[in-house]
Amino acid sequence: MELQTWLIYTLAATGLSLSPGPNGLLALTNGALHGRHQALYTRVGRRFNQACGGVFVAIGAALPLRS
């Protein structure tokens, strides 16, 4: 690829990685509106949700291997 393409890609990737995603904005909003404890509950809930999702993905990936 050309150097100009790499530079555009690097700029776009850097900008996307610095901007907060929907989960970060949810925690920020809850913290600003309801305080630090509500933001903490939001973070814990998100982590629990991610853990459950990971377990479900692992189960789904293991099912075809079982048969």
Each of the 67 residues of the chain gets a pLDDT tens digit; together they read: 789 999 999 999 988 888 888 888 888 899 999 999 988 999 899 899 999 999 999 999 888 887 6
Write out the residue range of the structural domain in which residue 60 sits: 24-67
Task: Characterize 16-39 residue by residue with b for buried, 16 or more Cβ atoms within 10 angstroms of its Cβ, and e for exposed.
Answer: eeeeeeeeeebbeebbeeeeeeeb
Sole residue written with tokens 């973070």: 43
Please indicate, yes or no, if residue 64 is contained in any of the structural domains: yes
* Residue 3 lies inside a defined structural domain of this protein: no
pTM (2 d.p.): 0.57
- Give the span between the Cα atoms of 38 and 33, in whole angstroms: 9
Task: Let me know if residue 29 belongs to a domain.
Answer: yes
Count of structural domains within the chain:
1
Q: Tell me, yes or no, whether 8 lies in a domain.
A: no
Q: Is residue 40 part of a domain?
A: yes
